[in-house]
């Protein structure tokens, strides 16, 4: 996000900034923005066997492992988002998708962060590496779950006290609608 005369950086870390934006009438709004990225890519990857790829990794802000969709930062200058999504899918899961199509674009947490998510449906995902090569600080667990029962599987995880990123449910719904139009 470009700097403007209405935004002040309050604190700058290695990856994040806390900023305050003037919203008028002497009021401001504080939020977090990521440094040096153009967005975040999120992939709902579907294998030829109609399984979705889910990842679980420790997340320091919530001090727990979280089930999520594979995702990554668009942080390479000039790299388009589709190429970024393919790269991040391989890094996080060891799978490469045959096709990558945009499902949705929107804010990660509109009231507290300026991060914009680009959610892709990645179909025909097949393993290309025995182990993910991600540059993550924490190990990533990759799980293949049948797409049609993925929501139930995730609800079971939550009932057992595990954390699940709720955005997965929206991505599953959008993917279902898109894939239903193709007879899947």
Cα–Cα distance measured from residue 88 to residue 43, given in angstroms and rounded to the nearest whole number? 9
The single residue listed with the structure tokens 């990521």 is: 34
Question: pLDDT tens digit string along 109-161?
Answer: 999 998 999 999 999 999 997 666 555 678 899 999 999 999 999 999 999 99
How far does the chain reach from its first CA to its final CA, in angstroms? 39
Q: State the DSSP code for 124.
A: S
All domains of the chain in start order, with CATH: 1-35 (no CATH), 39-180 (3.90.79.10)
| Confidence check: pLDDT of 3 > 70 | no
Q: For strands 163-164 and 39-46, give the pairing.
A: unpaired
- Please give the model's pTM, rounded to 2 decimal places: 0.89
pLDDT (mean) for 22-51: 92
Supply 85's token pair. Answer: 């999504």
């Amino acid at each position: 996000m470009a700097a403007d005369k209405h935004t002040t950086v309050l604190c700058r870390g290695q990856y994040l900034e806390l900023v305050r934006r003037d919203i008028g009438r002497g009021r401001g709004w504080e939020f977090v923005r990521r440094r040096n990225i153009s967005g975040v890519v999120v992939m709902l990857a579907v294998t030829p066997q109609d399984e979705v790829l889910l990842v679980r990794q420790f997340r320091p802000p919530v001090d727990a492992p979280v089930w999520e969709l594979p995702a990554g930062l668009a942080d390479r200058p000039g790299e388009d988002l589709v190429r970024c999504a393919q790269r991040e899918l391989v890094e996080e899961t060891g799978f490469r998708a045959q096709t990558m199509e945009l499902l949705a674009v929107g804010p990660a947490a509109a009231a507290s962060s300026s991060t914009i998510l680009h959610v892709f449906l990645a179909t025909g995902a097949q393993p290309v590496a025995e182990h993910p090569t991600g540059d993550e600080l924490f190990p990533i667990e990759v799980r293949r779950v049948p797409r049609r029962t993925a929501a139930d599987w995730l609800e079971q995880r939550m009932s057992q006290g595990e954390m699940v990123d709720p955005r997965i449910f929206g991505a599953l719904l959008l993917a279902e609608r898109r894939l239903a139009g193709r007879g899947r």
